[in-house]
Structures are given as structure tokens and as C-alpha cells.
Amino acid sequence: MTVLKLNDGNRIPALGLGIWQIPADQTGRIVSLAIGMGYGLIDGAAIYGNEEGLGHGLRDAGVARDQLFVTTKIWNDRQGHDETLRAFDESVARLGTDPDLLLIHWPCPAKDLYLDTWRAMIRLREEGRVKSIGVSNFMGHHLERLIGETGVTPVLNQIELHPGFQQTELRALHDRLGIVTQCWTPLGKGQSFEAAPVQAVAARTGKTPAQVILRWHVQLGCSVIPRSTNAGRLAENLAVCDFSLTDEDMAAMATLDAGARVGPDPLHFG
């Protein structure tokens, strides 16, 4: 699996497992199954309600902890300096391990607490509690303010990104700032599975539409975190390293951008 370098020197696998909406009582089994298949990155969050299961899955997998990359996130109602420190301690207690990457889940501009939240995360990183810190759902002006006020650039911004919502401008800003783009809801609720550019690559390579789309994410230079609770689809989603989209395929995929979110608008959420 491709590995991406973060701006703090750490490394993150390009493809991992997202665990949003995986029921708490199934999370341990699915995480450990996925790690057994070769997944090295698991994307969790406090709000997903399954951090304990994630911790169990990590321990049950029989893979050295330093071979795995674990993300969790500070939820919207825990923003603010001291509240973030408390929320982090609670996540660590549920996980039973320090996460590798801590993210601010949403900027929540109406609260205007993301700078204080970020300062707490800088402290956690300086204390060695977490290796890397980043953000999620930040728009360009949120990133510029965060960096301008604190001088610390997030390693990664996890954003909604799929063929119907390609975030070209934000990806270009990330490239200029040295921030890895990580894509959530990467399969876009299957809305592009039947699209001609996806079907053409699938027909030529014998891959599924989901594999074509995940490969497209990796070739954009992004990290991508598809979710599945199905063993066959977990394996399918990991098997995207043995084929490529051509430059012409990538150009055809670019035409699918409809600027259409399937999730909330960060300007107004939280």
C-alpha cells in the first residue's frame, strides 16, 4: 500500500478503514478482520461511539501497535482548550492506546473555538501524547486563519471528496500548504458507479466501480478511508494497487465533478 509523508515527518497509509456507523458491538471484530487483511490505517472518532471496539480490534489483531495508524477526532461539543484536553483523555481511555492522529472533527465557525482547540492539540503533540495533529472539514479560510494565528500547519485535512464533489481548489491549497488531503465518503454513496468513465476503466481492468474510484483517489495523491462491514468488500477495497488509471482516465473522471455534496456544509454545521 502507498504511504504518504506528513509535514511533521510521520507517515500514513494512503488507504484505510473508516468506522463511522459500524455498530459498537461489531467494531472490534471488523477492525481486527481488516487488520488481518492488511489494513494499516483505521479512521475513528469519539462521536462514532465505537472507540472501545476499535481498541479491542487493535489488540486482538495480533499486529504490533507501531505498525498501525489510528485516528480519532474531537467532537464539536468538546471544542475549547481545556475541554479538548479532557475529551482527548476520554478517547485514550476508551481506545486503550494513544491515537497516532488527532483531528478537529468540524470547524464549527459559529462556536469560534477551533483556535483554542488547536492550541490544546499543539500542547498534546508537544507533550508526546499524540504524534500528529490535523483537521477535518476545514475550508480554505479556516486553514489560513488557523495557520496564521498559531504558526502550526495541520498535517492533514479530512474532507468530503468523491467523483461528484472533487474539491479541486481545496486540494490545490492543501498542496501549496503541505497538507495531505484525506477523503471521506469516498464512494459518494455509489452515485458515480454507473458513470461512463468509471465503467470504462472497470471493463478494461476487470475491477469493480468501487475499486476504480478508490484507485482514482490514491492517484490524486489523497488518503482514502472507505468503510465496509462486509468481508468481501473489505478485501475488494484494499485491492487497488495492481492496476492504474491512465492520464486519459483521470481526465475523464474529472468531468464527473458536479460540485455536489452528500454531507453537511462546514460553513453552517455544528
Active site residues: 48
**Do 14 and 218 meet the contact criterion of CB atoms below 8 Å apart?**
yes
State the minimum distance, in angstroms, from the CB of residue 161 to ligand NAP.
10
The reply to whether 109 sits near ligand NAP by the rule CB under 6 A is no
SS percent in the chain: helix, strand, coil, step 5: 45, 15, 40
Q: Which is nearer to ligand NAP, 126 or 230 (CB)?
A: 230
In terms of DSSP H, where are the helices of the chain?
24-37, 51-60, 81-95, 114-126, 140-150, 168-177, 196-205, 209-219, 231-238, 247-254
Applying CB under 6 A, which part among 15-23, 26-34, 197-205, 245-253 lies near ligand NAP? 15-23
CB of 48: closest distance to ligand NAP in angstroms? 7
Asked whether position 210 contacts ligand NAP by CB under 6 A, the answer is: yes
- Number of C-alpha atoms within 13 angstroms, CB side, residue 30? 28
Q: Is 269 in the site for ligand NAP (CB under 6 A)?
A: no
Is-contact 133 124, C-beta < 8 A? yes
Residue (165 or 184) nearer to ligand NAP, CB: 184
Residue of minimal Cβ distance to ligand NAP: 18
How would you classify the pairing of strands 132-136 and 156-160?
parallel
DSSP state of 41: E
Among 44, 48, 40, residue whose Cα is nearest residue 15: 40
Which of residues 126 and 190 has its CB atom nearest to ligand NAP in the complex?
190
In the complex, minimum distance from the CB of residue 173 to ligand NAP, in angstroms, rounded to a whole number? 18
Q: Is 228 in the site for ligand NAP (CB under 6 A)?
A: yes
34 binds ligand NAP (CB under 6 A): no
Say how many residues touch ligand NAP, by CB under 6 A.
24
Regarding 187 and contact with ligand NAP (CB under 6 A), the answer is yes
Determine, following the binding rule CB under 6 A, whether residue 56 of this chain makes contact with ligand NAP: no
Q: Contact at 8 Å (CB) between 225 and 182?
A: yes
C-beta of 138: minimal distance to ligand NAP in Å? 10
The crossing angle, in degrees rounded to 10, of helices 51-60 and 81-95 is 40
Q: What is the widest separation between alpha-carbon atoms in the chain?
A: 54
Residues at the interface with ligand NAP (CB under 6 A): 18-20, 43, 105, 136-137, 158, 184-187, 208, 210, 225-230, 233, 236-237, 263
